[in-house]
Amino acid sequence: MILTGSCLCGEIAYEIDGLDGPIGHCHCGACRKAHASAYTSTARVMRDRFRLTRGGAALKTFESSPGKQRRFCGNCGTHVYADRAGDAHVILRVATLDDDPGARPAFHIWTAHAVDWLDPDCPAYAEWQPGR
């Protein structure tokens, strides 16, 4: 099953032949800062099953820790994936998928770095909160 994904502005697009690992939520400080979020959702995809279909020239790289390259759109800033030289897989940012991957998160990692203000029991609304 081929799944497609893209960055916010659409400059970068990719396709994958499916996820090759479970979806996990990472709470590490680097992911929180890179994604401006309490955590980011990732999954492994084998390199030979990940293909950029558009925007390779717009892809920028930042080495966030020794050997770890974060790949993002130079136009809109969307982080698409990360990788390490020599690894057989990339670490896909699952939220960039345009399609439902058919899997649900299996775990949280680096929870020792989790923010204290994240509240899973906070009220949720399908769109704007009442009175907005």
Tens of pLDDT, residue by residue over 94-107, are: 999 999 999 999 99
How far is CA 54 from each of CA 5, 12, 83, 109, rounded to the nearest angstrom?
Answer: 10, 5, 19, 31
Position 8 scores a pLDDT of 97
Strand order in the sheet with 50-54: 3-6, 13-16, 50-54
**What gap in Å lies between CA 80 and CA 93, rounded to an integer?**
5
Tens of pLDDT, residue by residue over 24-67, are: 999 999 999 999 899 999 999 999 999 999 999 999 999 998 99
Convert 35-67 to b/e letters by CB count within 10 Å (16 or more is b).
Answer: beeebbbbbbbbeebbeeeebeebbeeeebeee
**What gap in Å lies between CA 45 and CA 92, rounded to an integer?**
7
pTM of the full predicted structure? 0.90
**What gap in Å lies between CA 106 and CA 97, rounded to an integer?**
17
In terms of CATH architecture, what is 3-97+106-113? Beta Complex (2.170)
Nearest CA-CA partner of 94 in 11, 9, 22, 12: 22
